[in-house]
Structure 1
Amino acid sequence: MLPVASALPFSQALMAAPDSPRGALAREIEKGRDADIARLREWIALPSIAAENRNMREGAQYMAGLARDAGFTGVEVIATDGHPGVFGVMDNGAPTTLGLYFMYDVKQFDPAEWSSPPLEGRIVDKPGWGSALVGRGAINQKGPEATLLAGLHAMRRAGIRPPVNLVLLAEGEEEIGSPHFRQLATHARVLPALKKCAGIFIPACWQGPDGEVSINLGAKGVVELELVASGKAWGRGPTGDIHSSNKASVDSPVWRLVQALQTLVTPDGNTAAIDGWFENVRPLTAREKELIAISAASSDEAKVKQMMGVTHWIDDLPFEQAIERQASQPTVNIEGLVAGYTGPGGKTILPGKAVAKLDLRLVPNQTRAEAERKLRAHLDAHGFPDVEMNVSGGYDPTEVSENARLIKAQEKAYAAMGVKANLYPRLAGSWPGSTFTAPPVSIPATQFGIGHGSGAHAPDEYFVIDSTNPKVAGMSGAALGFVELIYQLAAT
């Protein structure tokens, strides 16, 4: 097992047993540290943004190159009806096969909002954490993925064959709701390889300030969409922008959209009010409530609030009830509103069009198809048939048994590293794990990793390279953490 001395930073603790296979790998990871950081910085400098159709072909080719360099064979870029994906295998002659899910796309960014250039990968000091690399994709998801690749590079240099076979599947549309990912997973060459896997995971580096991690037994589903109100579709109001003095006699598509949005939630905006929205929602089980209570008791509420930048939970709920809502409740969230003039000063116009960007988070036993159908029916029934609904992507919720082999291997890996890990019902965020857990693939799917980063989708997104917190791994420790999981799965 990987030796970790709790009083030492991970970078030192990894060297505690230099004669063991893990010790040899730790030395190789340290030797390759500069190259691993350079690889991550170069990857961040090439942003693939599906929403903007930016560098998608280049991003897929770069991902394919990363896979080949790490030892994957038969690597190919696979076309879909949208943006391409990447597939590769690593046959190590092992009886067990593990799947790796990667995404090579990132969210949009505005450089003016960043304190460090978003494509430069500059390393800065993060008080309380250590030195961190700042850039778009640093934690979501290129940093963790590059760290896993660093572990594979170290194994190759050390002449150590991984004790499991690996299957890699990477997509470029995760940040727009993975609209074509099922095409990749069910491709004639991909599906047979995936079905051999004992499970699949997405690399993550989400340690909290006390070194804690969650083993998520699922994730919420999501629907990403736009609602559009326009004078043209409504038949009222202007078809384009006109002078605001005309509001005295002309209807406003912007207010039309606001009124439609108000029907989707309760007056405080905290609970979905879409007709029939909760009829298939599965209540938390007794076991899930038990896991939440354990997680709440072992977490520092003040630190959680500080990391999120909040001072209150909904309705001033106690911490346990707040995170119970996070795990159990479907949500209707406005992620952006666009209408009329938004520059400096005023422009006194009556806009002819307004757009709301929404994401709907889903819990078991909701489905994406049900959510889309009910939202459309709700808008129509409440007198808004003209409000357009443009869905860009989404997928169902994910559930995994706590007795799954991959989950047990994660528990053993974290324990071997001295990392406090709590089982948790489901990730409040979303990823297309349901593509794997549902037929025809039907394998467990989850996240795994030590290390730390934050700021996903936000300015100044970062990933810790050298940790000053003795309970949190830096990049080298996180790389060895992924190797530990591989060994634990082989032995489970």
Structure 2
Amino acid sequence: MAASVFGRRAQLGAIGLTAFALTAMASGMALAQTPDRAAIQVQVAKRHDTAVKALQDWIALPSIAAEDRNANQGAEYMAKLAREAGFQKVEIVDTGGKPGVFATLDAGAPTTVGVYYMYDVKQFDPAEWSSPPLEARIVDKPGLGKAIVGRGAANQKGPEMAFLTALHAIRDAKQKMPVNLVLVAEGEEEIGSPNIAKLVLRPDVQAALKKSIGVFMPMGLQDPDGAVTVNLGAKGVVELELVADGNAWGRGPSKDVHSSLKAMVDSPAWRLVKALDTLVSEDGNTITVDGFPKPTPLTATERAQIAKSVAARDEATARKSLGVPHWIDDLSWEKANERLVSQPTINIEGLVGGYTGPGGKTILPYRAVAKIDMRLVPPMTRDGAVEALKAHLKKRGYGDIAVNVSGGYDPTTTDADSKLIQAQINVLRRNNIEPLLWPRLAGSYPGFVFTQPPLSLPSGHFGLGHGGGAHAPDEFYLIQSTNPKVQGFDGAVMSYVDYLYELGATGGSSAAAK
């Protein structure tokens, strides 16, 4: 789902992979349980061109759930990639919506790790791009290096291909896989994962995941400024439409009519605007929905994590990248970030109604739609938020306005002491970098299905490399870095190699993973 600059593209600081290994050896701390890292790195370099071409081919096949585009083909391609990477059991799963993929790789290891993938991408308008969004051209990015530009490059096919390449490289180097893997991949993340539970909680999938110490999602998390962030949760999300319709209302027109008739005919469009106005405060920044749960206050630990993190990040750079001159209420950098982590939101993604083309077309539309997303924080739930919204509209006299939910899920939280997160911290600390812990992403992913019962597993994100433009034109993923603080594709691949061996060194099962 959508994420701010502080969201799913959270900063992960600079780690030079070669320097990383040298630092580890110099300090007497060999990379955890890696039999022959150099041999693996040789295979990564050998596979570079093949892997980049495979990424370009994957980008050329867009699976767009919102447009019902290539859902089956996307699942089949995902299954093919998993088989080629060494997963012995690969199955396309019928979820009742877009299909998912379930795969297992049994390495005979004592530790099992879950991996979450999404193979769907957001919609795109080619006219807004500097190069065709499905061609995945490699272009120069000033200050970064050479990058692939294409829909899905950063979110999430680039990082996912880097992880798969790590599996190829370990096998090609004739090294033992340090962990068993359980892969779940869905094709509906970009519409709010409406059927993720049907995939993950199917009895055999659930049983496989229960053996794991946690579930992680590959991501390109490095930012050019060098900050290093480990994320401990994410906001939940609900995507929906509010629809005002003259037929349902029983007032206004039942079809578009001439605008001169507004003098004697009610307007569904204005009705929608008035209803929307009841959902938030006058400035639009505070939710005023009756019965909407109050957010859990930040703990002292969370405030300290935020303070430490924002001190390492540049406010002016953040404002410039967003094109934002001021934060809400002219808050300070630290207070704005506290609000980012702790507060729910109701956002208008778009307003659609009547005529929106060139020039004027004097009509009174019979129907108007607001596309809405709600971001949720504990103790809020998807179902609770939707019910509160419906009850609020009914109470305020807007019960005729339809609430059409397309997807969504609860927020998620993972303990910093879990093996999944500690392995990330250990990998980073071996380069003498103290990671910054971030309480909750402002963006969303369906981690709730892993962190909540019946699985109750840690869930997070990991991966070096850099990308940008998720959900926007000119989305990109860095392939060859000229920035010494950021890894290119091969460095990202090696970060997954190191993480897998670090996870393998943790030992134990899910019972000890919390």
Normalising by the smaller structure, the TM-score range is over 0.9
**What secondary structure does 2:203 align onto?**
coil
Cα deviation for residue 9 of structure 1 reads 8.5
Equivalent of residue 272 in structure 1, options 277, 284, 287? 287
Report the TM-score, using the length of structure 2 for normalisation: 0.91
**What secondary structure does 1:431 align onto?**
coil
Moved more, 45-54 or 207-216: 207-216
**5+ long unaligned stretches in structure 1:** 1-7
Other-structure match for 1:156: 171
Cα deviation for residue 439 of structure 1 reads 1.1
Other-structure match for 2:511: none
**What secondary structure does 2:147 align onto?**
strand
Note the alpha carbon deviations across 1:47-97, whole angstroms, 9 max, x for none.
001111100000000000000000001100010111110011111111100
Task: Indicate how the Cα distance of structure 1 residues 417 and 34 shifts in structure 2: closer, same or farther if over 3 A, else same.
Answer: farther
Cα deviation for residue 15 of structure 1 reads 8.3
Amino acid at match of 2:404: N
Provide the rounded CA distance (Å) in 1 between the counterparts of 2:398 and 2:307.
42
Equivalent of residue 354 in structure 1, options 347, 368, 373? 368
**What secondary structure does 1:32 align onto?**
helix
Equivalent of residue 187 in structure 2, options 149, 152, 172? 172
Equivalent of residue 121 in structure 2, options 93, 101, 106? 106
Q: Is the 8 A contact 2:17 2:495 kept in 1?
A: no
Equivalent of residue 143 in structure 2, options 112, 119, 128? 128
Provide the rounded CA distance (Å) in 2 between the counterparts of 1:347 and 1:435.
47
Q: Is the 8 A contact 2:122 2:190 kept in 1?
A: yes
Q: Is the 8 A contact 1:102 1:145 kept in 2?
A: yes
Cα deviation for residue 418 of structure 1 reads 5.3
Amino acid at match of 1:324: E
Q: How does 1:317-356 map to 2 (within 5 A)?
A: 317-356=331-370
Equivalent of residue 453 in structure 1, options 440, 459, 467? 467
Q: Does 1:426 align with 2:434?
A: no
Other-structure match for 1:43: 58
Task: Indicate how the Cα distance of structure 1 residues 421 and 388 shifts in structure 2: closer, same or farther if over 3 A, else same.
Answer: same
Provide the rounded CA distance (Å) in 1 between the counterparts of 2:429 and 2:491.
15
Other-structure match for 2:310: 296
Amino acid at match of 2:59: I
**What secondary structure does 1:189 align onto?**
helix
Other-structure match for 1:223: 238
**What secondary structure does 1:228 align onto?**
strand
**5+ long unaligned stretches in structure 2:** 1-13, 26-33, 507-514
Equivalent of residue 368 in structure 1, options 382, 385, 388? 382
Provide the rounded CA distance (Å) in 1 between the counterparts of 2:501 and 2:324.
39
Provide the rounded CA distance (Å) in 2 between the counterparts of 1:306 and 1:22.
40
Q: How does 1:52-67 map to 2 (within 5 A)?
A: 52-67=67-82
Q: Is the 8 A contact 2:231 2:461 kept in 1?
A: yes
Other-structure match for 2:214: 199
Provide the rounded CA distance (Å) in 1 between the counterparts of 2:291 and 2:253.
34
Amino acid at match of 2:492: A
Amino acid at match of 1:348: T
Q: Is the 8 A contact 1:25 1:154 kept in 2?
A: yes
Q: Does 1:399 align with 2:413?
A: yes
Provide the rounded CA distance (Å) in 1 between the counterparts of 2:323 and 2:55.
28
Q: Is the 8 A contact 2:310 2:334 kept in 1?
A: yes
Amino acid at match of 1:110: D
Cα deviation for residue 182 of structure 1 reads 0.2
Amino acid at match of 2:345: T
Equivalent of residue 380 in structure 1, options 366, 379, 394? 394
Moved more, 299-308 or 436-445: 299-308
Provide the rounded CA distance (Å) in 2 between the counterparts of 1:130 and 1:189.
44
Q: Does 1:440 align with 2:442?
A: no
Q: Is the 8 A contact 1:271 1:331 kept in 2?
A: yes
Q: Is the 8 A contact 1:97 1:165 kept in 2?
A: yes
Q: Is the 8 A contact 2:450 2:457 kept in 1?
A: yes
Q: Does 1:254 align with 2:269?
A: yes
Amino acid at match of 1:357: K
Amino acid at match of 1:192: A
Q: Is the 8 A contact 1:145 1:203 kept in 2?
A: yes
Provide the rounded CA distance (Å) in 1 between the counterparts of 2:19 and 2:297.
43
Q: Is the 8 A contact 1:99 1:200 kept in 2?
A: yes
Equivalent of residue 311 in structure 1, options 307, 322, 325? 325
Other-structure match for 1:29: 44
Identity of aligned residues (%): 59
Provide the rounded CA distance (Å) in 1 between the counterparts of 2:132 and 2:20.
32
Note the alpha carbon deviations across 1:13-47, whole angstroms, 9 max, x for none.
47869x97222222211111111111111001000
Other-structure match for 2:10: none
Cα deviation for residue 10 of structure 1 reads 3.7
Other-structure match for 1:4: none
Provide the rounded CA distance (Å) in 2 between the counterparts of 1:477 and 1:484.
10
Report the TM-score, using the length of structure 1 for normalisation: 0.95
Q: Does 1:287 align with 2:332?
A: no
Amino acid at match of 2:242: L
Provide the rounded CA distance (Å) in 2 between the counterparts of 1:309 and 1:131.
25
Q: Does 1:237 align with 2:252?
A: yes
Equivalent of residue 466 in structure 1, options 458, 480, 488? 480
Task: Indicate how the Cα distance of structure 1 residues 74 and 364 shifts in structure 2: closer, same or farther if over 3 A, else same.
Answer: same
| Count of equivalent residues | 484
Amino acid at match of 1:247: K
Provide the rounded CA distance (Å) in 1 between the counterparts of 2:293 and 2:407.
21
Q: Is the 8 A contact 1:234 1:387 kept in 2?
A: yes
Amino acid at match of 1:228: V
Note the alpha carbon deviations across 1:435-476, whole angstroms, 9 max, x for none.
001111111111111111111111111111111111111111
Q: CA RMSD in A?
A: 1.7
